[in-house]
Every structure is written in structure tokens, then in C-alpha cells.
Chain A
Amino acid sequence: MEVTITLNGTECTHDVEPRTLLVYYIREAAGLKGTNIGCDTTSCGACTVLLDGRSVKSCTVLAAQAEGRTVTTIEGLAEADGTMHPVQRAFQEHHGLQCGYCTPGMVMAIVSMLAERGDHVLTEADVRLGLEGNLCRCTGYHNIVEAALAAARAPELRL
């Protein structure tokens, strides 16, 4: 079946089997390898992407369910000139990664968390709870949380 998704701002159409999971659509059909597959069981969050702006685990969504929707992956965050998204920059400045495998999912989960916070000022506890669906097997959570809190203070993200 043909599945059309606006992926990182560009509409793309690929002929895939109905059983194709969104993460395989992104990685294999569209060729964007930034989204990692970790546990493949909705647990680890490595495959987190934004579906219509909200974080989802793309190993547990069919590509067909995203037909006509917008999907944002880690490749879609930086600006065209390479300027990093504030969350990416915060990860760099606060060394929010060790091996880096969970990083794309962590970054996308945090982007969604920041978009959903409204007027609420995120606390460390909010961030730790908000990242309950993302596992870091290097156990590098401390700097990830620091990066999220720094990004939450970024003026360009205050709408």
C-alpha cells in the first residue's frame, strides 16, 4: 500500500506492506537512520519520534496509521544552515550523552515535553517523570536531565 507522510517537512510516499512499522518506514523506506531501534517492545524509547508534534514510540505505530500525518525525526530538528535546535544544543553543552544510542529518542521526547508544558515551569521531578519512557543504558540520566532543564530555560522556546 502507498503511505504518504510529511516527514521532516517534506511529503514523501512509499509503497510498503500494511504491516510496516513506522520506524521501518522511516529507516528503510525513507532512509533516515537517525531514529534507532532499541528494545522493539515499546519500552526503551530509542525510536521516539513526533507524530503531529507529540512523542510516540515508532516501533509501536504502523506506518499506515501515520498516513497523511506529519512526522518529525531527529534529522528534522536542526535548521537548514545546520543551526542546532535548542534541545540538541543543550545536550552538547551539558554532555547529555555517553554512547549516544538513546540520544535521538531522548531529544525527541524532550522536544514533545517542552511543547506540552504550557505555562508550567518544569522541575527536575517533572523532567525525570517525563522521561520515564526513555532508557539510557549508560545510566547517564544526570546530564540528560540537566540538558532538558537548560533547554526548558532557552528563550527561543518560550512562546
Chain B
Amino acid sequence: MIPASFDYVRADSLDQATGLLERHGDGAKVLAGGHSLLPLMKLRLAVPEVLVDIGRIPGLSYVRDGGDHLAVGALTTHDEIARSPLVGSQLPLLAHVAGQIGDPQVRHRGTIGGSLAHGDPASDLPAVVLALRGTLVLRGPGGSREVDSEAFHLGFLETAVAPDEILTEIRLPKMGELGWGFEKLTKRAQDWAIVGAVAARLDGDGSTAIALINVGPVPARALAAEAALEAGSSPAEAAARADDGIEVSGDLNASEAFRRHLTRVLVGRALEKALV
């Protein structure tokens, strides 16, 4: 499978990249590791006229200690995140999930920024960022702005990143020793989740966040189950409400009814681990 023809530009700086995006508008796509975009281009589901490769822009691959949070550069690969001692000690949930994405070859190329900006509800990392109430930093021709994870995912493969903007950093509050759970069901180890669930205890008010993977068209939190926990329900009672008010998709891997069942079961298992 060969992608349709496109013009390729390797950007040396963020300013150059956002300038190119501003000039080419919807016809341009940003390329980082390429492990979300290139498969779509090979299937010709994405046919950009211009590919702006940001993979060599210096200073976008890092994990920094920001005091109460970690700041992760958008070009940091899943493999780098999974192996980072800082992430391992402060955000063990993120390290664990990054180490479960795809397979080693995919983790060597795929980046956290690419995964988030692609906006695929089947990706694992958006659920982590949603659960932890992360903040996303977007850079456009006019400067940078911050977007809450709540307001980031707008639709299927659609995010708050404007056509002339680039996601540059993801900020996640430190978890320390707070409990968490991550569950995903795959047919083969390397596959996308048919359904997945993230549960995480939050610092501060001591509440528990639950986010879902590949349940509906948009990465989503299980708000009804979160509210049930808040109101004093047991983890099992809360898990029974995990799919309440959630738009659930059916596809070749799982019917809507089966997905609802998986959502309740996997949220239950994730909560068991998070709330020990």
C-alpha cells in the first residue's frame, strides 16, 4: 500500500512549522513518528497535500519535573516514557500504559503528542490524560495556549488543535503513590484495545477518575460511575454504571451490547486495582 503523492517539508523550528500550516491550511498534516498518520495515508483515508515533518525540531522530546506536575514534550516516544525513571516514580500509570501500546517497534516511533493530536478513541493515552485532568499546550502562529483535557477531544479524530497549531507539551499532575488501574482487552497483544479502562485516584479531593478507551467515537470519562463512587457506592456498584450516558459504538470486533458489557467489567477490574 502506497500513500497518495504529497509534498514533504522537514521543519527545523516550531515557527517554521506553524507558518507552513498557516499557509497550507487544511491541506497540510503534521508528521511526528507517523504511526497514526502513515497507516491512514496508506489506506488513503488521509490524503494530505503537504506533510510537515516536525520530527527533527529540537527541544520537543523531554520529561520535566514541574513541581506538582510532569511536563512531557510532544515528541517523546512511548518507549522513552515507559523507560523514564521520573515517569515511573511520579506517574506510574503513564509509564505502564505507554509500555503497553502496540509493540516495541511501534513504541520506538510513536509519540505521545501524535497519539493525542490524532484523536483516535481507540488510543490508550487520551484516556490517561483525561483521567488525570491533564493540560495540553498548543502552539500556533500567534503563540501558545493551554487546553484542559476535558475540552480537547471534540469528535472522532477531531481535537481542539486548530489546522495551524501544533501540540507541543502534555502536563499531568503527579500521582506519587496514589492507586490506579489499567485494563484493556485485545485479541492479540499488539492490537488496539477492543475496550479499555483507566481508573486513577486523584490528589487533593481524593476522588477517583475513570476514563474509557474505544467505547464510543470520542475518548470519554465514565461520569456516572465517577459520581456513584463520589456518592458512596462500592466499586462494583459504580462499575455497573460505567456505560451510563456513554455513546457506545458497535463494529466488527464488538457489538454495542458486548462493548457495554466489556466497559462495565473492565472498569470494575480497573477500580479494584486503583482502590486497594
| A residues neighboring B (CB under 8 Å) | 1, 17-19, 21, 24, 40-43, 45, 48, 51, 54-57, 60-62, 64-65, 67, 109, 112-113, 129-130, 132-134
Contacts and interface: CB of A to CB of B under 8 A. Distances in A.
B106 A57 contact: yes
Query: Majority SS of interface residues in chain A?
Result: mixed
Contacts of A42: 35, 39, 102, 106
Interface of B: 1-8, 10, 31, 34-35, 38-39, 41-42, 51, 53, 55, 79, 102-106, 108-109, 188-190
A24 B105 CA distance: 18
7 contacts: A18-B51, A19-B5, A21-B38, A42-B39, A55-B108, A109-B104, A112-B108
A109 B105 contact: yes
Chain A to chain B: the 6 pairs with minimum beta-carbon distance, closest first: A133-B103, A18-B8, A132-B189, A19-B3, A54-B108, A132-B103
Given A56-B108, A60-B35, A62-B34, 11 more contacts: A1-B8, A18-B7, A19-B3, A19-B41, A60-B38, A60-B39, A62-B8, A62-B31, A65-B55, A109-B105, A133-B104
Nearest to B102: A133
Nearest to A43: B190
Contacts, number: 80
A45 B103 contact: yes
A27 B51 CA distance: 24
Contacts of A67: 10
Contacts of B42: 40-41
A18 B5 contact: yes
Nearest to A45: B105
A154 B185 CA distance: 36
Given A19-B5, A42-B39, A62-B8, A57 B53 contact: no
Contact of A61 (B2, B10, B41, B109): B109
A55 B5 contact: no
B34 A65 contact: yes
A21 B35 CA distance: 13
Contact of A17 (B5, B79, B108): B5
A133 B190 contact: yes
A61 B41 CA distance: 12
A27 B32 CA distance: 24
Contacts of A18: 5-8, 51
B61 to A, nearest CB: 13
